[in-house]
Amino acid sequence: MRGLVVLVTLACFATAQHQALIDYLERRLLAIEDRISLWHEQTARYATELRELKQQMVSQLENLDKEKEVLRVSLDGVGTRVDRVERELDYLETQNGNQPCVDVDDKLIEQQVNLVTEKQKAKYSKLSDCSDMISSIKAMKILKRVGGPKGAWSKDSNSGSGKIYIFNGTDGDTIHEFSSVQDFTRSPGMFQSKALKLPSAWRGTGHVIYKNHAYYVTQDDEIMVVKYDLRSNSVTDRAVFPVQDHVPVYDLTPETVLDLAVDEEGLWAIYATRQNERHISVAKMDTNLVGIEQMWDTNCPQENAEAAFVICGTLYVVYNTQQPGRSRLQCVFDVNDMVTNEDAPQIYFPKRYGAHSSLKYNPQEQLLYAWDDGYQILYKLVMKKKLEI
């Protein structure tokens, strides 16, 4: 009888412990749910603040346009008054024959013109120290064929290490690293590469390597840019890309929802939204915080677009033509307003296999690293100065 009592007591004690454990787990789950809910609220608030900021910027730009029109009208009025003064001076000259005053006035006008010219030159210098643009394609070199029809490959644009990085396909979590272009060319497939396992899967072909970091794009409910340190094998930062109603950047590569690019001025993001009526947009990014510094909407359509890249703050979009095996660079957008589509040269890429799923520019080498139907291709570019147009 006493043994039965002991067993009953132990059973009650075990039941109490089990219930306590269940209560503890429920409390922990509730706490985690509260933190997740708080995170969603903060994310929604940040997105709302970004939208409000964009609306404020649009409103300010509209006000600036109105002020510009008012200023233009005022300048027209000043021009009319100047014409009237010049006619009166001409009349006085014919009456008095006094030329020195006119000579002094001409010198003053010349000084003012020189001053405006110098200010204009200073303006271009202040906007950007980089003034190169594409003149033509000098050469094309097919290195090998490895991987799927779509992918991206490039060299670190700023480290000087010479390593090559391969993003095979349009989704995955592994980067293949080669010590040099020569090793990549000689290697059978990916055999001699070092596999770098990422903590999350990348999506599309819009990834770049910059200053010993991989910047890659992930997509779940939101588009996110992840900054991954290749030396410490750790994520140093990540940020949600603040764009709503996004659509694929390129008509011919629908898997790419955000295309990252590197040029002489740093990191850029190429994207598209429904608000821009299916045209491509570009944004300058902060490499330290993976944030947005400034955004521009372009007039470059997504239709038949293959890929794009940035050189000296100028976006170049490549399109598939009606001619078999040919691509054409036919839309240009310069954030500094120094180059237009009319100024840019008409450039056809040499014969290709399918379509470019990615074009990654290396500013140190002035090379384009292209992925074309599984072929890894290098395009050597010829540059000229924007002001020479």
pLDDT at 85 over 80: no
pLDDT score at 209: 95
What's the mean pLDDT when you consider all of the chain?
83
3-class DSSP string for 188-247: CCCCCCEEEEEEEEEECCCCEEECCEEEEEEECCCEEEEEEECCCCEEEEEEECCCCCEC
Q: Which two tokens stand for residue 218?
A: 């992930």
pTM above 0.85, yes or no: no
> Which of 26-30, 106-110, 303-307 is the most confident on average?
303-307
Q: CB–CB of 134/382 below 8 Å? A: yes
Please tell me the distance from the alpha carbon of residue 158 to that of residue 364, in angstroms, as a whole number.
8
Q: Which two tokens stand for residue 236?
A: 């140093």
> Which of 31-40, 46-55, 208-217, 351-360 is the most confident on average?
208-217
Q: Which two tokens stand for residue 206?
A: 């819009």
Per-residue model confidence as pLDDT tens digits over 289-330: 888 999 999 999 999 999 999 999 999 999 988 676 678 888
Which CATH number fits the domain 132-388, given the four candidates 1.20.120, 2.60.40, 2.120.10, 2.60.220?
2.120.10
> Which of 16-30, 39-53, 57-71, 140-154 is the most confident on average?
140-154
- More confident of the two residues 32 and 322: 32
Beta bridge pairs of residue 132: 385
- Domain boundaries of the chain, sorted by first residue: 1-96, 97-127, 132-388
> Residue with structure tokens 């036919």?
330
DSSP annotation string for 107-157 = HHHHHHHHHHHHHHHHHHHHH-S--EEEEEEEEEEEEEE-S-SSEEEEE-T
Under the banding of pLDDT at 50, 70 and 90, the label for residue 363 is: very high
